Amino acid sequence: FEAVSGFTTTGASILTAVEPLPKGILFWRSFMHWLGGMGVLALAIALLPGMGGRTLQLVKAESPGPVVSKLVPKSRQSSKILYTIYFGMTVIEILVLRLVGMPWYDSFVNSFAIAGTGGFSVRNLSIGAYGSPAIEIACTVFMLLFSVNFALYFLVLCGKVKQALRSDEMRFFLIVVVGSTVLIAIDILPMYAPGDAVRHAAFQVSTIISTTGFSSTDFNQWPEFSRFVLILL
C-alpha cells in the first residue's frame, strides 16, 4: 500500500504512527515520492527515444499542467532538462529547510515529499510537529514552486522571463492561490493572531492545491466556509 501510494504520489497511508519506524524505511518511503514525482516519467522518455512523437503523449498523460510541449526538439534532451531542474530545486529545498532549523534527515525526507507533491511525513503531526513558522513558510513556498509547470522554469533559465510571466496558466494559478488565502485568512481571523491566520491559510491552500497533503494545524476545526474552499482547491 505504502509503495503504490508513494510511486503514484497519492500520499495516502495506512500507518497510524510513523515516528517509531526505522529511519531507513521512512527515507525509502519518501524517496518513492521523489521518484514518482518526475523520475519515472523522465526515465521513460530517456529510455524510449525511438517512440518519436508518442513520447510527448507520455508527458501529456503524466504532467499535471494543461500546457505541455517539448522544451527542445529532442524528447530525450527535454527529459534531461526537466530532470535537472527537478533535481536542482530539490537540493535547494533541502538546504533551505536545514537553514530554517529542520534537521538534516528531516530536510531530505520532507523535501522528497514536497518535490513529488505527495506528502509522506516522518512526524505524526506532519509539518505542524516542528512548531516553526519559518519551516512552514519555507514549505509553503516550495509546495507552490513544485506545482508550477516546469516548462516555465526552462523559459526563465533561457532568459525569457517576460514570456513565462505571460502564461495564462501561471496567472490563473496565482490568482486562485492568493484569492483563496485571503478569503480563508479573513474567515479564520477570530481563531488566530493576524500573522498566524495568514500563515496557516497560505500553508493549507498551498498543500491542498499542490496535492501535497501536509498540515500545519487541525483545519478540521476551521469554519465551514474555509473547509469548503479547501475542498474546491
What is the tens place of the pLDDT at every residue in 179-193?
Answer: 999 999 999 999 999
Helix extents (H) in 158-222: 161-165, 168-187, 194-209
Q: Is 17 helix (H, G, I), strand (E, B) or coil?
A: coil
Backbone CA torsion sign across 166, 153, 134, 131: positive
* Cα 112-118-124 angle, rounded to 5 deg: 85
pLDDT band at 16 (very low <50, low <70, confident <90, very high): confident
Q: What is this structure's pTM?
A: 0.84
CB atoms within 10 A of CB 179: 12
pLDDT number for residue 182: 97
